[in-house]
Amino acid sequence: MKVARFSKIGFILAAAGSAVGLGNIWKFPYITGEYGGGAFVAVYLITVVLIGFSIMIAEMFIGYKGRSDTVSSFEKLAPKHKSFWKYAGFQSMAGLMIMFFYAVVIGWIFDYIVLSLTHLPSSVEEAQNTFTQMAHKDFFTQFFYLTVAFMIVTYVVSKGIKGGIERLNDYLMPLLFIIIGGMFLYSLSLDSFSKSFEFMFKPDWSKLNSKAFLVAVGHAFFTLSLGMGAIMTYAASMPKDSNLVKSAFWVVVLDTVIALLAGLMLFTFLYEFGAGPDKGPGLVFISLPSAFYAMGVLGNFFAVIFFIALAFAGLTSAVSLVEPMVQYMIDKHLYSRKKASIVMGLVFYFFGIVTILSGLDGTKEYLTWGGSNFFDWVDFITASVMLPLGGFVMSIFVGYIVPKSEVESVLKPHLKSFFDVWYFNLRYIAPVALFIVMLNMLGIIKF
């Protein structure tokens, strides 16, 4: 039986599609605004290089050599204690758990595409009320769009690597780049672009604190889709003559460029039409729609294509979040791809409904524990525990468990003289940084 493989460019687009998601276009701009702009961006770029790039190469290496699901790949590469190291494949569960709320947020984006076609809120107050009405009072709208997201993602994953995932990314990723690039080019013509550029790239070190550093490390890791089994599972389907280092480089570059372009474009629009960059998580769903309204008819056009771009980014990431568990069910439990896709789709669909109910007035009190609802708990467990732990485990596994000679045979021809620098970073810098981030997020240590 011939195993489906990505083409070389197909893998880069799929991995970039996994990495380029809501974290780039939604989260990166608002945390940049919260932590002072340029100084935060500088730290973020450093952590992308020192931690994100290093771990991505390691994760690609495990998948490329293992040629299987995450559990089996760790088992195959571990020289001993294979029955222990198979549990390192837990990270494939992280992606599926993220889909519990990620699919709901994609549903919100679908709703905002329709909203942008009809009636944009005229003020921040109206935008706040619109979002609150939808997220906390309107079950059926959220349920409908969650169902749409479930059907799209499940169908694409069921079609496999070549016919589904690669084809989706072949179309959506270039369109995403065109939309974000086009909006960025328009923002260059606005008077506020220089102010946005200064905010993003002129560091104010007085605004940088230890928490900002930890947030930068955590986000650099999250935005590259590391620690959730997606990159590892995709790498298992890379062509055998692939250059892992070059592939990782292009994924990191595409991911980072999209984040920077989105930040510059969004801040320009916000400054131009009377809003600021420090609006927190509501920046995209509350502040930005009112800024688009101030642009008149052109604002409706930009709002529609922006939320379409956001939907594209969400969907390309969503299929990568589900694929690791689908591949696990195929390899370990001999499910057909169609059956595995439907089963995993129904899992995130069911818990997506739970996520919706956890935010609704009248039901949220039954799904709230310790002051946090189901949505918040899943977000905390995945972002604060599972993802950094996954990265920590991969750095230890490749840095200490897999024989160095085996790692060298694959990576040194491409890293050349930088191999020792990368290997040192993987063994000593990345795991320490991720361990500290995890302890801080868990509240064990405070900065």
| Residue 1, pLDDT above cutoff 50 | no
Residue 270: per-residue pLDDT? 80
Which of 402, 426, 67 has its CA nearest to residue 234? 67
Mean pLDDT of 348-354: 97
Let me know if residue 233 belongs to a domain. yes
Could you tell me if residue 214 is inside a domain? yes
- pLDDT tens digits for 19-59? 777 777 777 777 787 777 888 888 888 888 888 899 999 99
Judge whether residue 403 has pLDDT over 90: yes
447 within a domain of the structure (yes/no): no
More confident residue, 419 or 388: 419
Which is higher by pLDDT, 397 or 266? 397
Measure CA of the first residue to CA of the last residue in the chain; give whole Å: 54
Domain that holds residue 178: 8-441
Q: Determine if residue 90 is left, alpha or beta; phi over 0 gives left, psi from -120 to 50 gives alpha, anything else beta.
A: alpha
What are the pLDDT digits (tens) for 200-250? 888 777 777 777 777 777 777 777 888 888 899 999 888 888 899 999 999
The pLDDT value recorded for residue 3 is 54
Q: Once rounded to an integer, what is the mean pLDDT over residues 287-298?
A: 82
Average pLDDT for 86-107: 92
| CB-count exposure of residue 124 (10 Å: 0-12, 13-18, 19+) | middle
Domain for residue 446, yes or no? no
pLDDT in tens, 151-163: 999 999 999 887 8
Report yes or no on 2 lying in a domain.
no
What is the number of domains present in the chain? 1
Looking at every residue in the chain, the average pLDDT score rounds to 88
Residue 1 lies in a domain: no
Residues 415-428: tens digit of each pLDDT: 999 999 999 999 99
Supply the CATH number for residue 357's domain: 1.10.4160
